[in-house]
Structure 1
Amino acid sequence: MDEHRRSDEREEPRVAESLLEDEADADEAAAHAEHQGQGDHEDGGHDHGGMHAGHEELFRRRFFVSTALSIPVLLYSETLQAWLGFSVPTFPGSEWINPVFAVLVFAYGGVPFLEMAVPELRERSPGMMTLISMAITVAFVYSLASVVVPTASTFFWELVTLVDVMLLGHWIEMRSVRRASSALDELAQLLPDTAERITEDGDTEEVPVDDLSEGDLVLVRPGANVPADGVVEEGDSDVNEAMITGESKPVSKDPGDEVIGGTVNGDGSLRVRIEATGEETTLAGIMRLVEEAQQSESQTQVLADRAAGWLFYVAVAAAAVTAVVWSVAVAFDARVVERVVTVLVIACPHALGLAIPLVVAINTSLAARNGMLVRDRIAMEQARELDTIVFDKTGTLTKGEQGVVGVATVEDVDEEEALALAAAVEGDSEHMIAQAIRDAASDRGVTTPDARAFEAIKGRGVRARVDGELVHVGGPNLLSQLEIEPPERIEAFADDAGENAQTVVYLVREDEVLAAFALADVIRDESRRAVAALQELGVEVAMLTGDSEDVARAVADELDVGTYFAEVLPEDKDTKITRLQEEGKLVAMVGDGVNDAPALTRADVGIAIGSGTDVAVQSADVILVQNDPLDVVRLVKLSRASYRKMQENLVWAAGYNVFAIPLAAGVLAPVGILLSPAVGALLMSLSTVIVAINAQFLRRVDLSLPSLPGVAVTRESRPTGS
């Protein structure tokens, strides 16, 4: 159940989107040693795309040099001269142009493939490099033999074009992978190089961001990036956090609000007290999570790697059969070697090797840009198969804070007037009920009158004078002390609220009950949309809470959640997950607290809300940067879309070989259709390009969600291609 849980428990996690994983043995592959240093930052910082940039530069350079060296071979090829109807002048020694330049092309452009096949052979795990090496080695040896045995036809132009096309294909792939796996580079670029630190005398000094310490006060000018995590001490502004949280709208920041390093300040000037620097910042944590995701292995990638190994044996067998059949049919000659080489070229699992890593890399990047940080890719793949998602109630489906969920008033008082009076009386109170009433008044845009002579009544409520009248706000104990009874309609409202485990407070003016307010943990509007959307996707939604049966039932009914577990002790949460799994369900758990950590670990997919504790985050496979249950829906949709794209690529890559290998072997030779090695290499590279383009279409997946009637859209997915 948990064997996929921790990527750091694997013996040697690898970068899943790297197509040259077996080439990365620097001790064995001189080619890798050559470009390894090119991919590293000089300062030793994070540069996840550096390795891919190094591979890209290696193949780009060798492609252009090899292509230039191939031109004389092509010009002096008698076969091409006959096909294209041209001729070139000859001179003494011109017969050596083809073998000499072909040897140069093989040594510079072809030998790296041989070097990179060594680890595959040593590990007895033949794959792409072994197949390419076999093809070009056969072509090279046969071509040199043709020089010694003049009666044999030459093979030089096919050899150089084969090497050139292979180099071109690798260059295109490395460029695609580097671009797709640039999430870490993009994140690293969010942090500015310098910051303006405010000195004790009030002046500012420009210092490197690395020199900032906890407790430093920095000035963030309009339009500048916040240099590190901190708290606003002075100023107000709107900060763009889209690159970190996925929130499309700028977030208002006032004194006391937290800001995240790497976010972009708006029009206002802020003075920020630094609370975290370096590896302790939110951005650094996100980068670590993204890196973990990029190093975790994909189940589908394992299948693709295994298929590449099988393809090697299929290719060798097909080549052997081809050699035998053609030798019997036409005797052993150059045509037999040409068929064998073409079979080996066609069988190269280039497209197969690209099919999964590129999709996974794009998937990780899209997830990060939409506020989902994937720590374990296997979990990301499993999300498509989830049939039950269990949400912790408090702080996940609800806001984890008291809010006004209902108001009842006497006939001659409307709700806005009642809220205005209650908010005025509660204006000086720090109690969470007071805050809830003030927030409700603020949300409705109610103007609050002035209150005087505020006084807290211990255990009963508060009172103050508003417009000269004595006004009380409090619970049932207040009514008992004042010895008054509420009107029938308010009493009925209070009874209903009590049955739903809601807290009721009364508004009393001059011994007359004017209104009653029902308070409860406020359900997020996003939760309603998330539950409905998941159910539409065919996923069952369940709820887990330590609250009473009445509270759990009320929230479940409100959200239309059919399964809920109430009065669950923290240590028993994971047993509920186990129970669902024993019913044969693939279960995800969504939570944010320390007591959710065991359940997050137990679940097939653990999803932590971004504001959750470090323990919860470290126990999860996926972290939602925003406190937004809708991101769970986006996670499922992205997982399903990514899997479809993987399957399409696998079908194309493997299906291509199913049809191409027999064609290369010459099954259509009786009707005059034969593939040369160069054409075989071209078709193989075309397959690779098609797979790469198909993977890029994943960027266009629609992660937006429809609104429910009467429910405001508080956040929407940003365009995935941005």
Structure 2
Amino acid sequence: MEERQMPVRGMHCAACSARIEKVVGGMPGVAEASVNLAGETLRLRFDPAVVTPEGVAERVKALGFELVLPRPAESSRLVIGGMHCASCSSRIEKVVGSMEGVRAVRVNLASGTGELELEPGGPGLDAVIRRIEGLGFTASEVQDEDESLFEEQQREAALRLEEQRRALGPQLALGALVLVVAMGPMVGLALPAFLSPDASPGAYALTQLALTAPLVWLGRRFYTAGIPALLRGGPTMDSLIALGTGAALAASLWNTGTILFAHGGAHKAHELYYESAAVILALVSLGKYFEARSKARTTEAVKALLSLAPEQATRLRDGGQERVDVRAVRPGDLLLVRPGERVPVDGVVLEGAGEVDESMLTGESEPVAKNPGDPLASGTLNALGALTMRAERVGRDTVLARIVRLVREAQGSKAPLASLADRVSLHFVPAVMALATLSAAAWLLAGEGAGFALRIFVSVMVIACPCAMGLATPTSIMVGTGRGARLGVLVKSGRALEAAAGVDAVVLDKTGTLTLGKPALTDVEPAPGVARDRLLAVAAAVESSSAHPLGEAVVHAAQARGIVLPLAAAGRAVPGKGAAAQVAGKPCLVGRAGWLAEEGVELPPGLLELGEVFSSEGKTPLYAAESGRALGVLAVADALRPEAPEVVRRLKAMGVRVVMLTGDTPRTAHAVAGEAGVDEVFAGVGPEGKAAKVNELKAQGLTVAMVGDGINDAPALAAADVGLAMGSGIGVAIETGDVVLLRADLRGVVTALALARATVRNIRQNLFWAFAYNVLGIPVAAGVLHAFGGPTLSPMIAGAAMAASSVSVVTNALRLRFFKG
């Protein structure tokens, strides 16, 4: 199965997205189709042997929408610099287009980009770039197509928003004028005789028609999108507006003709509904504008992250400096980062010393000292000191690009909470159309007259709002996950977000999670007849092949004492137990007492007693043996994170059960747990055992979150309902876990759970109001209150209420931007 996320154009309401989901999801070879209305994307999981993205795009096109496909493998997008006029772009097109093997080239002067299609086996992209540079321009490949598509989406959204804004002024002005002309006489506003409905009914009707016609033209999108959707059998919100206002316009036009051409038709001047159609179109357009403007703000987090990457870099070459487009930087290039500049790509410091602000990636406010050998991440700010760096990861491979990609994927995902709204949205519009028709027919049969029935029909059609239901979940997820990224918490999907909100048990690994993960050697106690340095040398040689923090502490201690390590071969790590190697040709072991016993090593009682003393002090004992004979015991201590007690206290205050799992001995585990305030401890548990413990907790009906470093905790992270992987923000494996904490700080756990709860609470609020609005509003529009002697609902008020409903949902979701970590 392949998985892709692609933009979809032309959606206007939840009925649109639900229809695409149903039709595409039913195609052979498609395992999952999830449409995000707020993000305007389709997340597709499919079997490429059965169906292609092109086939899906054709099916989506048949529904009246457009699926934006990824660029073909043989095509490339270039950023071209130095163009000043149309002759520049034309020259590039002519010269490059004449190259053998170039299928097509299109240069856009306004955006400074070029689209290039090459024949298989034709000239390489580098050859084309050299040819463009030979013409006096600069050229570099756009390496991240996802980022390019996102930027294109943002430009298109900005253009649509500007078009809506420009049309809004005339729409509101025309709507107000029609309202004054139509309703003025009813509220005591005297009209001139030539406009009076009684004295000049023809002029009265034609004036309203003349004011309404341009407004209908400005709002023609409702008709050009809604009517075709209805004819295709997939009506949308636009269909409701088109039919509702169309019915009012048709009746008004008929009555206008009666006034003008039928004898005695003057009484029809009081049966015109131009103002209803005009005001509804104006108010709905106003609501759609506010909705679009609010939706644009849901992607602010991604735009803020993208803005961190500088557009240019200073490359060092041939003893000089040159400013180049950051997309032209390649791994291995030497770059200069001056104070006040952002790091252009991922790499490592070669020369210089300084301090780098990594807050926008990790949420850590304090600058981090950087010296030769230290890593640098794209987008971080060099606050102090000039740094010379070597580029290692560029384009879509940088940490920043991967974070942006994860955030966008999360924003395009759905939470299980959305399933009910999706099912309702699919059938909502046809049901509303049927209800509007039945309501109008019922009032006709009740003898209320055609004018009253028409008003009921229009009110029901325009008050119904599938948009609010469709936007309720995705807008909250988009804002919530975006806010999390700004706080150093990457939530990978809506499913993970919803699961994290329901967590009632948190399992904490000890080493590197509750503790700093940088243990230090504190004691070296050799067995009788063994020199202290020999014990440390053998133990360090064995651990030199291990990446475990405890083993690294032993190696660092030996190196710090200047001990020359003997040659070790065939090294292997046994997760949760220890390490083994051939040292100077002899089999050696370093690890837990129980494991050495399993391997046939008999430990003297004195060493075991020493180990117990170390454990009671919160230290981890490591026993060493050579050729089956005990060499001694070493003690390693890992300091507790200073924030750990506070985090445990806060988790308990949130009603969360806190459990610690560790491979250490019970004494060590309980000593650390007591210091942290953890009451429930499972010690001596290996990686597989941790996963089994997580499953035991889940079997008790608990929703379990596992917090670990993403390395030897991988089985437990995968077994948990939610896996939270802690990292350093730069070296973190951000593909591990459902939630990634970019800062090596336990407070991120509290932030992640609190953010998830706030987001899911926000989703539930949105869904409640979306459903409540429709459940209460539609019956009122249908005349239920009037049946019991109450008032009816004006179509204009119905239109305003519909516009306000979706705006209120998006506005409520935007409150998550102010969530505090």
Query: What's the TM-score once normalised by structure 1's chain length?
Result: 0.75
1:350-406: per-residue Cα shift (whole Å, max 9, x none)? 433333332222111110110011111111012111111222322222222214889
Question: Hey, what's the Cα distance between the residues in 2 that align with 1:79 and 1:103?
Answer: 18
Return closer, same or farther for 1:497/1:646 CA change in 2, 3 Å cut-off.
same
Return closer, same or farther for 1:218/1:19 CA change in 2, 3 Å cut-off.
closer
Q: Which runs of 5+ in 2 are unaligned?
A: 7-29, 44-56, 69-107, 114-144, 260-264, 524-550, 567-608, 623-633
Alignment of 1:189-208 (within 5 A): 189-201=307-319, 203-208=320-325
**Do 1:114 and 1:130's aligned partners in 2 also have CA atoms closer than 8 Å?**
no
Match of 1:369 in 2: 486
Match of 1:638 in 2: 755
Query: Could you tell me how far 1:19 is from its partner in structure 2?
Result: 7.2
Match of 2:692 in 1: 575
Return closer, same or farther for 1:192/1:548 CA change in 2, 3 Å cut-off.
same
Match of 2:301 in 1: 183
Which structure has more relative contact order (CA 8 Å, sep 6+)? It is 1
Match of 2:35 in 1: 14
Query: Could you tell me how far 1:435 is from its partner in structure 2?
Result: 6.2
Return closer, same or farther for 1:305/1:145 CA change in 2, 3 Å cut-off.
farther
Which of 218, 225, 239 is the aligned partner of 1:115? Answer: 225
Query: Could you tell me how far 1:233 is from its partner in structure 2?
Result: 2.0
Query: Could you tell me how far 1:572 is from its partner in structure 2?
Result: 4.5
Return closer, same or farther for 1:526/1:10 CA change in 2, 3 Å cut-off.
farther
Query: Could you tell me how far 1:458 is from its partner in structure 2?
Result: 8.2
Match of 1:156 in 2: 274
Q: Which runs of 5+ in 1 are unaligned?
A: 407-429, 440-453, 460-491, 506-516, 704-722
Alignment of 1:250-269 (within 5 A): 250-269=367-386
Question: Hey, what's the Cα distance between the residues in 2 that align with 1:158 and 1:129?
Answer: 16
1:278-330: per-residue Cα shift (whole Å, max 9, x none)? 11111011011011101111223333333444654663454245324422333
Is it true that 1:137 corresponds to 2:242 in the alignment?
no
Return closer, same or farther for 1:578/1:212 CA change in 2, 3 Å cut-off.
same
Query: Could you tell me how far 1:438 is from its partner in structure 2?
Result: 13
Return closer, same or farther for 1:293/1:504 CA change in 2, 3 Å cut-off.
closer
What residue identity is the alignment partner of 1:432? A
Return closer, same or farther for 1:50/1:528 CA change in 2, 3 Å cut-off.
farther
**Do 1:261 and 1:283's aligned partners in 2 also have CA atoms closer than 8 Å?**
yes
Return closer, same or farther for 1:455/1:87 CA change in 2, 3 Å cut-off.
closer
What fraction of aligned residue pairs are identical, expressed as a percent?
35
Query: Could you tell me how far 1:653 is from its partner in structure 2?
Result: 2.6
SS in structure 1 at match of 2:712: helix
What residue identity is the alignment partner of 2:254? A
**Do 2:618 and 2:672's aligned partners in 1 also have CA atoms closer than 8 Å?**
no
Match of 2:212 in 1: 102
1:10-40: per-residue Cα shift (whole Å, max 9, x none)? 6334335347989x9666558999xxxx9x9
Query: Could you tell me how far 1:341 is from its partner in structure 2?
Result: 0.9
Which of 153, 171, 183 is the aligned partner of 1:79? Answer: 183
Match of 1:420 in 2: none
Match of 2:415 in 1: 298
Return closer, same or farther for 1:587/1:493 CA change in 2, 3 Å cut-off.
same
Question: Hey, what's the Cα distance between the residues in 2 that align with 1:6 and 1:525?
Answer: 42
Question: Hey, what's the Cα distance between the residues in 2 that align with 1:290 and 1:20?
Answer: 14
Alignment of 1:227-376 (within 5 A): 227-309=344-426, 311-312=428-429, 315-316=432-433, 318-376=435-493
Alignment of 1:540-689 (within 5 A): 540-611=657-728, 617-669=734-786, 673-689=791-807
Which region of structure 1 is more displaced relative to structure 2, 292-301 or 545-554? 545-554
Which of 429, 432, 446 is the aligned partner of 2:553? Answer: 432
How many pairs were matched up? 614
Question: Hey, what's the Cα distance between the residues in 2 that align with 1:130 and 1:19?
Answer: 20
What residue identity is the alignment partner of 1:146? N
Match of 2:579 in 1: none
Question: Hey, what's the Cα distance between the residues in 2 that align with 1:457 and 1:501?
Answer: 29
Q: State the superposition RMSD in angstroms.
A: 4.0
Query: What's the TM-score once normalised by structure 2's chain length?
Result: 0.66
What residue identity is the alignment partner of 1:211? A
**Do 1:298 and 1:378's aligned partners in 2 also have CA atoms closer than 8 Å?**
yes
Match of 2:630 in 1: none
**Do 2:710 and 2:737's aligned partners in 1 also have CA atoms closer than 8 Å?**
no
Which region of structure 1 is more displaced relative to structure 2, 670-679 or 164-173? 670-679
**Do 1:396 and 1:590's aligned partners in 2 also have CA atoms closer than 8 Å?**
yes
Match of 2:283 in 1: 165
Match of 2:337 in 1: 220
Match of 1:469 in 2: none
Is it true that 1:147 corresponds to 2:256 in the alignment?
yes
Match of 1:382 in 2: 499
Question: Hey, what's the Cα distance between the residues in 1 that align with 2:64 and 2:40?
Answer: 15
Question: Hey, what's the Cα distance between the residues in 1 that align with 2:397 and 2:565?
Answer: 43
Which of 476, 491, 513 is the aligned partner of 1:396? Answer: 513
Match of 1:417 in 2: none
Question: Hey, what's the Cα distance between the residues in 2 that align with 1:571 and 1:530?
Answer: 26
SS in structure 2 at match of 1:643: helix
SS in structure 2 at match of 1:590: strand
SS in structure 1 at match of 2:385: coil
SS in structure 1 at match of 2:391: strand
Is it true that 1:60 corresponds to 2:165 in the alignment?
yes
